[in-house]
Structure 1
């Protein structure tokens, strides 16, 4: 039997996303001239389809689902990512100077959201063969075994970072890769070496893009006073940057959280959504939620979200199939770090990356991709009694 608690927790958050999306989309509706229920209807459809997808996938035996569906998603997503930059504007929507969505009748498809699922399946399948239970006598031989993954991830980085101008998704997938490698039996020395390599490539991606440099300057402009206040004066003066861009997203996000206080202003009574930040119902949803429902509402969401991660890890721990276990760990890392990256971004701890909050942010592709992942995890949960 599939994990009923996991299904209930996810269904609750998805249903709540419809309510909070309707409340926070007021300005976007007016700005774009949409009907009053435009985002409510679209999010409701995505959630209904998503819950149905979870239920259908949970009924399919894992041995007939995980590998086949995962590789289908992986190959299909790669093909779409390759083709998308060459599509005309009538078939592809742009953001951040790059095409990220494919326009289909009635909705838009973001291939990168689905690619992450195929990426996790591929790593789970491959790591279970190359690293789990394998003993290597040196770091050099271990690094040699990892070289094909570096090549594969380099291709991914080109598709995501260069062609889609989306460093945030690449960082998330690098984290998934690193954590899954450790759980598959990779050494800490190898992980440390790869971490240095990842930081180097990340720095290169930043300094070669004016858009990313400006984003870093904007973030630093809002945090440098706090950071530099604890450093010696001479060092602080050398690190200070004058005339940085105004970090308005972080400023208004923190203001919204502060305005909400402990109990919030009430559902529908938030101010941040009234033109201070555009499309609060997407990437800034946590700030909008905090303003309207306060720390209590945010706390309830975080508790349920943690319960979801706990159920996924429990399934990963109980299954004896290495592929299934690594897949569940990868999904948990994807959800957990997506939340952390978003939360740290809107509070100014790190630059804002534009990554959706799982199960809560508006967006059909993000909702459906998350539901596919949960459906596959529930399918695995049914095998535990048979292991």
Structure 2
């Protein structure tokens, strides 16, 4: 299982380097950089990430996971709180918020590492507080879960306010719900909090004009498919007329269509030539679809499921320590939901959230954080074989 995960990650990272180089040349030259500007940084991040996953997997997980998990949780959260106070020379802005800290010529996003620390905290706490005890009523479960909701709202409030990143909050909410169910929580209790989460989400969207605009532009694309299953009178009430189609989704759809079954070939894509901005980052699946086609995307999905997710769930099922098991589940959820949210956004099924594709999108922070998480999972796997 450990070897399958490690080699699958290496294959995905290698493919990422090839695609980042192919998709980023036009962007690099338009900024006045060398053609290899982005791929050089991705190669450095890839080497460090592979070394991290190998090194961490050989640590004594019983001594390492606890203090390292708390360090990631507290340290990264403090960085998130401090970043708005830092000057622009130390904190880079994107999407209306400061999301990267610059140090010695490199930058990192604390939020990527916070997600791992948050998963560790949930695993550590859920293992102590919840069990598969069906004698508890739904009301008792809701009361036991209430402190986590308060803590989650406080943490995610900081993420949404200081990072302006609702997508990551949504990702962590899904992960927390799945970990709660796996730790022994009932579907009824999760359903109750899910309804409240929908209400809170609608409130956050209603108070944010740019999120309302994002929902409207997404609906302009999705409405024909969704409303086709409803009666015409009902559909006409919700239909939005004369609203422009989202630029990103429009060109991402063109890239997927142009790729067809076998793709146009690596380096021969058109959408990267200024039609889809920075396609090597959050929209990399569109670029891969055009150059490698349906076959390439199918290969990625199969490798992601068979090579990474399936072994992680097997490790979670076989390890006796409940904290370790829950942590593996949390890591699998982070990776799976990140991939799905990005894929659904690229295809227009949901609004684009700006979440990186694990091991494929350009960006050192996401890549290193995911490899650190898998390094910890592989360290846990060694407890099974020992």
**Matched residue SS, 1:108:** strand
Question: Matched residues in 1 for 2:152 and 2:27: separation?
Answer: 36
For residue 135 of structure 1, report the CA deviation from its aligned partner. Answer: 5.6
Is the 2:25–2:36 contact (alpha carbons within 8 Å) kept by the matching residues of 1?
Answer: no
Q: Is the 8 A contact 1:22 1:39 kept in 2?
A: yes
**1:217 Cα deviation after fit:** 0.6
What SS class does the counterpart of residue 382 from structure 1 fall into?
helix
Do structure 1's residue 384 and structure 2's residue 374 form an aligned pair? no
Whole-angstrom distance in 2 between the partners of 1:322 and 1:54: 22
Kept in 2, the 8 Å contact 1:207–1:213? The answer is: yes
| Aligned pairs (5 A) from 1:110-121 | 110-121=109-120
Does the 8 Å contact 1:27/1:278 carry over to 2? Answer: no
Residue aligned with 2:163, SS: coil
| Displacement of 1:166 | 0.7
Change (3 A) 1:134 1:68: farther
Listed as ranges, the gaps of 5+ residues in structure 2 are none
SS at match of 1:383: helix
In the alignment of these two chains, the number of paired residues is: 385
TM-score after normalising by structure 2: 0.97
Q: Hey, what does 1:172 align to over in structure 2?
A: 171
2:363 aligned residue = 363
Cα deviations across residues 82-125 of structure 1 (Å, max 9, x unaligned)? 10111121211111111111122222111111110000000000
Compute the displacement of 1:242 (Å): 2.4
CA distance in 1, matches of 2:267, 2:291: 7
Distance 2:202 2:244 in 1: 20
Contact 1:101 1:111 in 2 (8 A): yes
Could you tell me how far 1:231 is from its partner in structure 2?
Answer: 2.0
CA drift at 1:30: 1.7
* Match of residue 300 from structure 2: 301
Q: Any conservation in 2 of the 1:27–1:279 contact (CA below 8 Å)?
A: no
Q: Secondary structure at the match of 1:100?
A: strand
Could you say which residue in structure 2 is the equivalent of 1:277? Answer: 276
Question: 2:322 maps to which residue?
Answer: 322
In 1, Cα distance between equivalents of 2:363 and 2:243? 32
Contact 1:273 1:288 in 2 (8 A): yes
Shift of 1:133: 4.6
1:13 paired residue number:
12
The residue aligned with 2:188 is 189
Contact 1:18 1:40 in 2 (8 A): yes
Inter-partner Cα distance in structure 2 for 1:372 and 1:83: 23
User: Which residue is equivalent to 2:353?
Assistant: 353
Change (3 A) 1:230 1:147: closer
Is structure 2 residue 375 aligned with structure 1 residue 375? yes
CA distance in 2, matches of 1:79, 1:277: 35
Cα shift at 1:20: 0.6
Aligned equivalents of 2:385 and 2:15: distance in 1? 32
2:237 is the alignment partner of 1:233: no
Checking the alignment, whether the CA contact within 8 Å between 2:183 and 2:326 is kept in structure 1 is yes
Please report how far the alpha carbon of residue 293 of structure 1 lies from its aligned counterpart in structure 2 after TM superposition. Answer: 0.8
Q: Give matches, 1:103-252, under 5 Å.
A: 103-134=102-133, 137-252=136-251
* 1:258-313, Cα deviation, whole Å (9 max, x unpaired): 10111111100000100001110001101100100111111111111012101111
Q: Distance in 1 between matches of 2:282 and 2:374?
A: 21
Q: Which runs of 5+ in 1 are unaligned?
A: none
Equivalent residue for 1:340?
A: 340
Q: CA deviation at 1:134?
A: 4.8
Alignment of 1:245-264 (within 5 A): 245-264=244-263
Q: Comparing 159-168 with 343-352, which one deviates more in the overlay?
A: 159-168
Q: Deviations over 1:220-250 (max 9, x none)?
A: 0111122223322211121012232431111
- Structure 1 residues 159-193: Cα deviation after superposition (integer angstroms, max 9, x where no partner): 11122111100000000000000000011111100
Q: Give SS of 1:54's match.
A: helix
Deviation at 1:136, TM superposition (A): 5.1
Q: How big is the alpha-carbon RMSD for the aligned residues of Structure 1 and Structure 2? A: 1.2
Give the TM-score of the pair, scaled to structure 1: 0.97
State the alpha-carbon separation in 2 of the partners of residues 137 and 188 from structure 1.
13
- Aligned equivalents of 2:265 and 2:121: distance in 1? 44
Alpha-carbon distance in 2 for matches of 1:372, 1:20: 23
| More displaced stretch, 318-327 vs 221-230 | 221-230
In structure 2, distance between residues paired with 1:97 and 1:381: 41
Quick one: structure 1 residues 214 and 245, their matched pair in 2 at CA, closer, same or farther if it must change by over 3 Å?
farther
Structure 1 contact 217–245 (Cα < 8 Å) conserved: no
